[in-house]
Amino acid sequence: QVQLVESGGGLVQAGGSLRLSCAASGSIPSGGAMGWYRQAPGKPRELVARISSGGSTNYADAVKGRSTISRDNAKKTVYLQMNSLKLEDTAVYYCNVQVWTTIGPTNYWGQGTQVTVSS
């Protein structure tokens, strides 16, 4: 059974910092892209940041310049450092691993961790 275990969410003050982590375990294959998505109430799930197995990164415009995604391939863990947090960062954050095969993409998701930014 594939598991993505997230940690680091919680309640933080606006302007503060937070680090999310996600460790993959089980039968999940190595080499896939890893990333973070978030979903705010009443809004669709959106990409926050993504990192390939080779280290290439992609960020949503809303978090560019104040967030950093990184990974430890040996530990199959992805991190998201978020600084200068804003109220609009409040959402449930989901860890994602995407693996491509000849059939197509397979997505694995974590259970989600709540991030709440207060004024």
pLDDT tens per residue across span 8-23: 999 999 999 999 999 9
Torsion of CA 114, 15, 17, 96, to 10 degrees: 40
Residue 4: pLDDT over 70: yes
Residue 5: pLDDT over 80: yes
Nearest residue to 97 (alpha-carbon basis) of 107, 112, 111: 107
Task: Please give the share of the chain, as a percent, with pLDDT higher than 70.
Answer: 98
pLDDT category at 80 given cuts 50, 70, 90 is: very high
pLDDT category at 48 given cuts 50, 70, 90 is: very high
